[in-house]
Amino acid sequence: MSAPKGRARPAALEDLGPGASVAAAEGALAEGALRLLPTPEAGQAALLLEAATLSADPDAPAGVTLGAAGASAKIIALGEETEGLGLRSGMRVALPDRAPCGGCASCAAGRPGFCAAPVGAGLPTPADLKTPPGRGLVAPAALCIPAEGASAQAAALLGPLAAALHALEAAGPTLGARALVCGRDLSAALCVHALRMAGAAHVAALAAGGKAQDRLRAAGADAVIDAGDPAAAAEALEAGEPFTLCIDVSGAAGALHVAAAALAPGGTLVLAAAGGSAAGPLGLLAERELRAVGAARPAPDLSRAAALLRAGRAEGAAALLETLDAADAAEAPARLKGAPGPLLLTWAAAAAPAAAAPAAAETPAASKRQARSGGLAGRALGRRRRAD
């Protein structure tokens, strides 16, 4: 496509560097300068990324995966069939990595956490981070959860926060509980954070690794027991009062055995880790008549987590993550090596206040396949939001 005389080449959304502001993108779109920006088709939204999680993935060529747990973005254009979702241009939204399709047998039966064909947001997953990841994204509008009132960094944690709340829901009443959280990653820290918000009287954590333990303390753990020496950990737990609740996000049989032994008779063990070697302690569960609850499937409901984001009550969770500017994304593999992860990748302009949003301009066509996915998710999640 050739540019008019006396004017720079029309810009593509993908051409905007890490420091490009949301206001600049909105302005360029309004002026018709972003002529290569794919038009968000029915059920889609064009977005400018602000922050995204960056998690270690040993199977990825570069050792990292961008957007493993979600992202935050600003809307710069909306396609048709997005009315009723409460979205508008310029709005900050949170993006989970995927959402239920709304059309499979599990979704129809009211069990969206077991969805057979979840719809992905299409978050970028570059194999090579030697160049800064692009900021442009066209995603199903139904996956865009309004997050005004939250910082960009906190909004990127919608998915993990919803998973922590899902584990708490499985646990039952937590007010006044003595709780133990097993695990060293972000999920463990968010469970500690959520238990604090839910009124637990005492929250302890069982984890290995200095950085992970520091983050658990920062999340609000009253005590952190080193899981590196199982015998010493068991002795430390036995010396204190028994726990009424344990949430395990490690999936490690050794940690579960120690945790189950520390539970009071009749206590509740929530298994919130997918996979792992959790079968070992099942005999102890029966012997102590503990109640074991599974909560390892994707959180079926994001509305409570989104409400906490909009109320500004998840900012402490965002502070638990180490941040990295997108311009320095090449440093991510070294920073994640041996760390509990994830990193929070941010674009330089993410914290800048957005200008008043202009009306969206129409641009050329985008992927029809993505539009079909967006339409299906939009109908399913749109109905749910209107019901809320």
- Evaluate whether residue 254 is within a structural domain: yes
Residues 202-223: b if buried by 16+ CB within 10 A, e if exposed: bbbbbbbbeebbebbeebbbee
pLDDT band (50, 70, 90) for residue 384: very low
- Evaluate whether residue 329 is within a structural domain: yes
- Which tops the pLDDT comparison, 16 or 43? 43
* Cut 0.85: pTM above it: no
Q: Do 30 and 53 sit in the same domain of this protein?
A: yes
| Total number of domains constituting the chain | 2
- Which tops the pLDDT comparison, 214 or 55? 214
Q: Do 71 and 143 sit in the same domain of this protein?
A: yes
- Evaluate whether residue 217 is within a structural domain: yes
Strands 98-99, 178-182: pairing kind:
unpaired
Q: Do 105 and 29 sit in the same domain of this protein?
A: yes
Report pLDDT for 218: 92
Q: Do 283 and 170 sit in the same domain of this protein?
A: yes
- Evaluate whether residue 151 is within a structural domain: yes
- Evaluate whether residue 8 is within a structural domain: no
Domain hosting residue 275, numbered range: 160-294
Report pLDDT for 319: 85
Q: Do 251 and 273 sit in the same domain of this protein?
A: yes
Least confident segment among 131-135, 223-227, 231-235 = 131-135
Q: Do 91 and 151 sit in the same domain of this protein?
A: yes
| Dist CA 298 CA 296 (whole Å) | 7
Output the six-digit token pair for 81: 């069939």
Mean predicted lDDT score pLDDT of the chain = 74
CATH number at residue 288: 3.40.50.720
Q: Do 201 and 95 sit in the same domain of this protein?
A: no
- Evaluate whether residue 301 is within a structural domain: no
The most confident of the ranges 118-122, 196-200, 232-236 is 196-200
- Evaluate whether residue 308 is within a structural domain: no
Q: Do 149 and 249 sit in the same domain of this protein?
A: no
